[in-house]
Structure formats: structure tokens, C-alpha cells
Structure 1
Amino acid sequence: MLSIVKLVVQALLTSFLLAMSCSFAAAGINRFGPFSVDSMRPDAIELNGEIDAGSALAFRRALTAAPNAKLIVLNSNGGLVQMGLLIADDVFQRKMATLIPAGSKCFSACSFIFLAGSERRADGQLGVHQISSDVPDLQSAQMSISDIIDVLHRFGTPTDVLTIMFRTPANDMYVFSSDEVAKYHINRSASDPIPAAPEAAAANPVTTAPGPSNAPTATTQAPGPAASPSPSDALASLNPNAASQLSVLEDYARRPTRLAMFTGLDFAGEDVGIEAVADAGACAQSCLAKGSQCKAFTFNIQTAPGQGPNCFLKASRGQADGNSVAVSGEFLTRSDPNPSAFSIGTIDPTTALHKNVDLVGADLSRRPHPKAKGARECRLACVANTSCLAFTFVAAKKECWLKSGIGQPRAAAGMVSGTKTYQTVSPATIIDLQ
């Protein structure tokens, strides 16, 4: 039975990959220097690689290809300062959100782009240092520093970040820890104050913090949520779409990048939909179509198409339950690690249930389970109880008896019993959706 299941599962995985290939066949990745635009996700532009002499123009070309882009996703070791500042200014003027995904880095000139975001979040590494130049021209260096200070103050950059930047040698890199990201208010959301206008910042670029005129200086408080309604809150009350960039950022972070497939495993509960589909690939597509509402699914390979529901869409993985005729999948986002192996107790409904059998003795309690009123509920109650090794369900009385041992089996009409075994579960495969 298990060998047949494995063969069927391989066929289902193949069909899934084919289905995904068809879905993305019409899609295309357009590249402009280090920038790329996915035609299926035109709300985001990705930066991967060095910021060179052609990058500012390449970014303008990417914006032309994705005129409605609201987010720039960053992964770069940096590059030319002036190019980074030009790109950052475009990001700031367009009020785009910026994101450093987990596992990515944004160093040196890339940090200017990140700090330009009207909404910004650093799940990955943000690194800063002094500028460097091969030309020993003091005047040019001073002008570059002046440009950086002016631009970063317009972006509402915390003074602490500027201080660290200019104190870190050019041949070194200061990478902010997650605690420092929170401490210095590096991330910014829709509820944070809108940075001051460029003219206000230019009046005193070193000591005046962005924000209302009566706000504390940046040396004592970095930009953060205000106690009273902030300008952005007032704007949001007039324009419901004012905070839409944050939702774009969060939506991008939640998008699935991988699919972990499990064989012989059922994700019990957490259903958000039940469908009859042709195969596991179609089940996965149904889950994807529900967006963030669906994060996992279970497909029953025993139920033939047209014979009833066989695709169960889940809000989360739920309770892991062994079932030799089940194939399950869990969608993973950029911030989710690959699932590691885990051990579970299982009572396989296909191979470990015994009809018309009573297991006498070894009851865990003098009373039947108070909530399990069906054989399936009784089985799952035993699976969830670490002290339970077997169960007997009495159909006539709707009684569920959990047991600490297998007990003495005997023939008994109308009873269903099951015995628990332990197994180690790990993904059969992890499919890259990108």
C-alpha cells in the first residue's frame, strides 16, 4: 500500500510542477541592470546586485515598465554613492515603500535607497559606513557628505543612524542588529509622522529632526508613533488609500516563495474551504487563489475526481495527523525557515483502525472523553494526547475511551478501535515557487 502511495505521490508532484509551469508561462521577468520587474507582480521592483554607473537610468527604465510600482525590494552590497542618492530620490518622490527581506542585505549606497522609503522594513541586514573615494579631492568629498546629509534628513533618517554611518570607517561596515533596528526606529510604518518638507530640513540640517516644529530633537527621540494623531493619521482619515503602501509591503512579505510537500500526512482542522479537484496541483492552485487566507492544504488521493471533496484548504498547518492516502502542502514565505523533521504519534485511519473490535482495559479515565462523539474525533483525541496509546469508540453510546495501552482485544459489534505508532515526518520535497 505504501509503495503505491509513493508512486501516486510522485505523479501528483509532477502534475503540480506542470500546473505551476503553465501558470507562469505567460509571466516574464524583465531586467534592467540590477533591477527586475515580474509581470505577475508589477507592484514591486527588485534590486539584486551592485549599484553601478548605469543603475539610476536602469531604475527609471524599471519604473517605466512598472509605473504603478509601490515597493522596492533590496538586496545589494552597495556601489556608487551618487547613483544610490539619485535612485533614493526617485523612491522618495514616488512615496515608495522599501523592504530588505530576511536573508538579504542592503549595504553602503543601498542604505540610502532603503532610508528613502515612505514605509520601510529591514527584515534582513542593513549596513552603513563612511563614503570612500579614489580621488583625494577634499572639496568633492565635502560636497558628497553635504549631499548625503541633506538627502537623508529629507528622508527622516534618525540622527543615531547618521552618527553611526559617519563614524564607521569606509573599509568597515556597521550592520544594525534587530534590537538596534527597533531602538533607532529604523523601520517606519503608516502611523509614523511624515518627514518635514525639504525647505524645513534645510534650515538646520544637522540638529533639527524631521517632523512638526514642536517635536523633540532627533538626538533625544527618533521618528516614531506620536501620542496624538499624526499628520499621516489625519491624511489617512481623509484618504483611505493613504496607508496602502504598508499593505503592499506586508503583502509582499507574506507572498509564498516555497511549497513544502508532505506524503502520508494530513493537516487536520483549520479548514477555510473544501473542493473537488483533479489533482494535488489543482488543490495547490486553489489555495494560492485564496491569497493570505490559505496557507496549507491536504489532498486525499483515495477520493477519485467527481466522487466528492478531495481538496481541503487550510488557514494554517493545524494538527499533523498521519494518513497514508493524504498529500499535504504548506506554503512558506520569505521569512519562514524550511520545515525541519518532527516526530508525531499517528493512528492511520486507513491501516490502523479495527472495526468491530474492543480493546478491553487500560482506560485513561473512568469516564469517556467528554467531547469526542464520533470515531474520527475519538481517534484525533488519542493522537493529541501524549498519554494515549490506543482508543475504542462505542458507536451505540457515542462513547470514546482513551487508553494507556493496547489492552485485550475482543470481537464486539459496533465498536471501532485504533492503536498509535510514532513516526518521524519531514518534507518529501520543497518546491521553489520563484
Structure 2
Amino acid sequence: MISRERALLRAAFAGLLALFLPNIGAAQEDAMNFRVIAAQNCRAPCPSQIVADGVITMESADAFRAIAARFAPRPVAVRLSSSGGSLVGSLQLGQAFREFKAEVIVGKDARCISACVYTFLGGNVRRVAGGRIGVHRFRPENEETDNDFPAVLVQRARDILTAYVTEMGADPELVSIAMGVSSREIRFFNGNELRRLRVIN
């Protein structure tokens, strides 16, 4: 059964759609794709390994569910690499990861930046194995600068992100750090910071 908090979060996501819909052409061209690969360096029973790379879209969560459902109830490990994408889509994909109790890994030379970090938090187990995680503040599609977003809506979106991050077991300070970084820059975390903020567990 979906918790009351999760139901409220999903309702709140719907209210942000008009603000954070991505550019459709760009989203389709570089949209995240999912593919199954052979399990690597594991002991039986090995989790099913799914590579997820590309731009996160509003369709990403359903695309992941369609693949992961084929392996349920066996464990699933996701190798994640993304430059971000739809903010709402990233939260929905993170929730899909949590539904399947997925282990999520940012592997060697992979990057999970921008909205991707919120997807990463959906992992039941979260590991960084040679990759990098970075954040910046969100910005609605087609807006020229961070300041083009009304303050009341910034606060509403920030509240939703804080609730989501808390629900996923990470430190809500993560949102505050992201909000302090221009959307045109990336703030990367080192291992100690990832552990302190409970981004990895």
C-alpha cells in the first residue's frame, strides 16, 4: 500500500509538470534507455543488471518498470549514468527504483548530475564505484536565468524536493546545497560528503 506521504508527493509532482516539462525534441533524441547486461562480479544469487543511461524524461519510470517487472521478485541492480533531465521525471524514476528495492550504482567514469541525483536516491542500496555525483539548482525549461522563476514557486518546488530526499533516507541539506549552485555550474561531492549526506549508504 502506498504511504500517505508518498501519495502526497505524487500529487505534488503533478502540480509541477507545467513548470518542468522538458523540451520534447531534445528529450526524445537523448532519452534514457534501459538495457539488461550480464551480472558482474557477484555472488549467487546475482541481481539482474540493468544499465540506465541518457536524459531522464517523464517516460523513464514506466520504461524501467516494464523491464524490472520481468525479473521480480529477484533483486535488481541499476548502473546509472545521466546528465539529468526532467525534474519531475527524476523523482518518479527514483520512486520506481525504490518500488523494486533496486541497488543503484554510479560506476567507473559515469556521472550522475543535476536531476539525476534525485533518481539515484531512490536506490534501496546506493553506491558510487568510480563515478561522480554533482548537483545544481533547478531551472524550468525555456527560462533564461535562475531568476526567471517566481519565488513562491521556487519555495514550493524546494519543499517537494526536501520531502522526497527525506523520504528516501538522505539528508535534506542536499537540497540546500543544490539550491546554492547556479544552474549553469555543477557542484561535485567527494566520498566523505556523500556519506555525511547519506547520498550513499
TM-score range, shorter chain: 0.5 to 0.7
- Structure 2 match to 1:86: 92
* Aligned counterparts of 1:167 and 1:91: Cα–Cα separation in 2: 27
* Aligned counterparts of 2:135 and 2:48: Cα–Cα separation in 1: 27
Q: Does 1:119 align with 2:125?
A: yes
Q: Give the number of the structure whose residues are more often helix, by fraction.
A: 2
- Structure 1 match to 2:35: 36
Q: Which amino acid aligns with 1:125?
A: R
- Which gives a bigger RCO, structure 1 or 2 (Cα 8 Å, sep 6+)? 2
Q: Which amino acid aligns with 1:35?
A: F
How far is the alpha carbon of 1:183 from its aligned partner?
Answer: 4.2
How far is the alpha carbon of 1:140 from its aligned partner?
Answer: 4.5
How far is the alpha carbon of 1:45 from its aligned partner?
Answer: 1.8
Identity %: 22
* Aligned counterparts of 2:172 and 2:162: Cα–Cα separation in 1: 10
Pick the structure with greater CA Rg. 1
Secondary structure of 2:50's aligned partner:
strand
How far is the alpha carbon of 1:182 from its aligned partner?
Answer: 3.9
Provide, for residues 323-346 of structure 1, a one-character-per-residue CA deviation record: whole Å limited to 9, x for no partner.
xxxxxxxxxxxxxxxxxxxxxxxx
Provide TM-score, normalisation by structure 2.
0.68
Q: Give the number of the structure whose residues are more often strand, by fraction.
A: 1
- Structure 2 match to 1:156: 169
* Aligned counterparts of 1:43 and 1:106: Cα–Cα separation in 2: 21
How far is the alpha carbon of 1:87 from its aligned partner?
Answer: 0.6
Q: Which amino acid aligns with 1:53?
A: M
What is the aligned residue count?
Answer: 156
How far is the alpha carbon of 1:69 from its aligned partner?
Answer: 4.2
Contact 2:34 2:51 in 1 (8 A): yes
Q: Does 1:170 align with 2:183?
A: yes
How far is the alpha carbon of 1:93 from its aligned partner?
Answer: 2.8
* Aligned counterparts of 2:66 and 2:184: Cα–Cα separation in 1: 32
Secondary structure of 1:58's aligned partner:
helix
Q: Any stretches of 5+ residues in structure 1 without a counterpart?
A: 1-31, 189-434
How far is the alpha carbon of 1:63 from its aligned partner?
Answer: 1.9
Q: Does the C-alpha gap of structure 1 residues 132 and 65 become closer, same or farther in structure 2, counting only changes over 3 Å?
A: same
How far is the alpha carbon of 1:165 from its aligned partner?
Answer: 1.4
* Aligned counterparts of 1:154 and 1:59: Cα–Cα separation in 2: 21
* Aligned counterparts of 1:69 and 1:82: Cα–Cα separation in 2: 25
- Structure 1 match to 2:60: 55
Provide, for residues 341-394 of structure 1, a one-character-per-residue CA deviation record: whole Å limited to 9, x for no partner.
xxxxxxxxxxxxxxxxxxxxxxxxxxxxxxxxxxxxxxxxxxxxxxxxxxxxxx
Secondary structure of 2:66's aligned partner:
helix
Q: Any stretches of 5+ residues in structure 2 without a counterpart?
A: 1-30, 40-46
* Aligned counterparts of 2:121 and 2:110: Cα–Cα separation in 1: 16
Provide TM-score, normalisation by structure 1.
0.33
* Aligned counterparts of 2:95 and 2:172: Cα–Cα separation in 1: 19
Contact 1:122 1:181 in 2 (8 A): no
Secondary structure of 1:50's aligned partner:
coil
Q: Does the C-alpha gap of structure 1 residues 49 and 69 become closer, same or farther in structure 2, counting only changes over 3 Å?
A: farther
Q: What is the CA RMSD across the aligned residues, in angstroms?
A: 2.3
